[in-house]
Structure 1
């Protein structure tokens, strides 16, 4: 599988531009994970950090769920990987955790996010709350935050991938 990464059109409208950059960064994370084994994807290669590529993908599944389900539409299905005892469970991997499961879960959350955002305009306010604020968020703010979240973690993914197998890229 080769991930198709394209930047949004230079003259796209605001919504198409925001959605385009979000999809670009989603695909960038998938691209950083291509061609690796489950063991490599579970490898925390930048000590003392526990970050791994699979952990980042699982984290972004949680983030997609949090912003596009819990905050945007007010649906709270609960965390995917975290527990009360281990709220950062998405980063704590074992040999039984697989890329197949992590990738499938992440893609499912992305598809739910797309469906949920379809019913909102950029200025429409969220129906749910976040752990950061009791104030509602506009869809525009959520898109911008998600682009920032992915971009930051894609920087982490660059470093992790280079340590795992030497691969670099933009």
Structure 2
């Protein structure tokens, strides 16, 4: 347990000797997640895990969550940051007015303009960009949900002429 705790402290870059109340809000969130990660749960429920975090802290948290999922942990996350959802969620449940509107693969639901409007959700910009590029430039951009894929496809198209 001590070895696992030290690995988690190192992964999150947490000060091992400080009292939690002396830490910043972001660091306290990281301590809370670290306390969950160290016990290697089968299921974890996260409520706004990136709220109040800077970019580096956000990426540390979400890469940790991704690793947990890859190791078989079921991750259920409530999140209003659609960029984080797009980058890290495989499946989503879209809710509005206290009810479920739809559930499914992240990109498919983000691409459903009527659904997003009904849920008052602004999909990530890369989803709209890929939709427009697919309709006006090439179908190769369809279903693209990451900027790196837009860049990769664009480079391939430029190299082919």
User: With CA pairs under 8 Å and 6+ residues apart, which has the higher RCO, 1 or 2?
Assistant: 1
What is the TM-score when the length of structure 2 is the normalising length? 0.24
TM-score (norm 1): 0.23
Larger CA Rg, structure 1 vs 2? 2
Q: Which has the higher strand share?
A: 2
